[in-house]
């Protein structure tokens, strides 16, 4: 009699299939990964060891990679490094990366985990410009939405750009804001080039910018920079909320979460962090 309790056989038509690839390409890919991790010209024996294959086998793969332009060999030392085609592939991949698009899922997650409003801003033709806004159950009732331009001195986002953007990019906005701050004498704002530079040095050393009530009374915010493969700032991520319930400290939960998100996003954009 047949065993009725036996597990049913999978239907070959419905069972999930693992796509078949070319094993030799995957094996050779270990050499390319080793070159990337090494970060510079490498001897054959070291590459072979990193890829887990005999030097003779590694050499055959490297010969083919050289023909494709993925690898080049120094004619003097005999060491190997990534070739011009590999460089072209990397640059093409980076050109297809949209920082704002990549930041979107992170912002949704941050807003949910922190239960606070999260914003992303880029440098536009008028200065730091909010391009995405994610609210939580603790929605902040302010007139800051996508398209809003942030001041350099009073906002966490603006201070973030002022600290990490080249001075040549921020100069046109900075001088009028410093003059206005000197006239108004609003507390918490730098009023001279000297106090501004001191504030920016502090922000860079802390890795995060803060603003507590300087842009809007009762609203606090923190912001972090995101860098690309050139080491240039391309995006600011910010969390903000009502000052009474929002932790804007340097080691608070929002600050820690933003730093982690900034690091992850920068790595995905090719930055060496």
Task: Kindly list the structural domains of the chain, giving each domain's residue range(s) and its CATH number in brackets, ordered by start.
Answer: 23-95 (1.10.10.10), 99-268 (3.30.450.40)
Q: In the predicted model, is pLDDT for residue 146 greater than 80?
A: no
In the structure, how many helices (H) and strands (E) does the chain have? 9, 7
User: Given pLDDT bands bounded at 50, 70 and 90, which one contains residue 37?
Assistant: confident
User: Given pLDDT bands bounded at 50, 70 and 90, which one contains residue 76?
Assistant: very high
User: In sequence order, what are the residues at sequence separation of 6 or more whose Cβ sits closer than 8 angstroms to the Cβ of residue 125?
Assistant: none
* Residue 228 confidence (pLDDT): 92
Polymer length in residues for the chain: 273
pLDDT per position as a tens digit, 199-217? 999 999 999 999 998 888 8
Answering whether pTM is above 0.85, one says no
Q: In the predicted model, is pLDDT for residue 233 greater than 80?
A: yes
Report how far residue 121's alpha carbon sits from residue 100's, in angstroms, rounded to the nearest whole number: 9
Percent of the chain scored above 70 by pLDDT?
88
Report how far residue 11's alpha carbon sits from residue 262's, in angstroms, rounded to the nearest whole number: 46
């Amino acid at each position: 009699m047949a065993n009725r309790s036996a597990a049913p056989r999978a239907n070959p038509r419905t069972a999930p299939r693992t796509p078949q690839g070319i094993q030799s390409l995957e094996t050779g890919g270990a050499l390319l990964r080793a070159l990337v991790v090494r970060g510079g010209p490498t001897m054959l024996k070291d590459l072979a060891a990193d890829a887990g294959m005999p030097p003779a086998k590694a050499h055959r793969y490297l010969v083919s990679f050289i023909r494709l332009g993925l690898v080049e060999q120094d004619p003097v030392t005999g060491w190997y490094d990534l070739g011009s085609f590999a460089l072209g592939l990397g640059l093409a991949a980076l050109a297809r990366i949209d920082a704002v698009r990549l930041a979107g899922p992170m912002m949704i997650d941050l807003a949910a985990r922190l239960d606070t409003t999260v914003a992303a801003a880029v440098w536009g033709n008028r200065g730091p410009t909010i391009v995405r806004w994610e609210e939580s159950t603790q929605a902040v009732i302010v007139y800051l939405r996508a398209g809003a331009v942030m001041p350099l001195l009073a906002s966490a986002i603006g201070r973030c750009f002022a600290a990490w953007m080249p001075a040549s990019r921020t100069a046109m906005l900075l001088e009028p804001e410093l003059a206005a701050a000197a006239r108004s004498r609003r507390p918490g704002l730098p009023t001279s080039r000297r106090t501004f530079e001191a504030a920016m040095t502090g922000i860079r050393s802390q890795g995060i910018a803060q603003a507590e009530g300087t842009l809007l009374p009762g609203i606090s915010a923190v912001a972090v920079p995101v860098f690309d493969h050139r080491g240039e700032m391309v995006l600011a991520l910010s969390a903000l909320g009502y000052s009474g319930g929002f932790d804007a400290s340097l080691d608070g939960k929002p600050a820690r979460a933003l730093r982690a998100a900034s690091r992850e996003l920068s790595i995905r954009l090719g930055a060496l962090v």
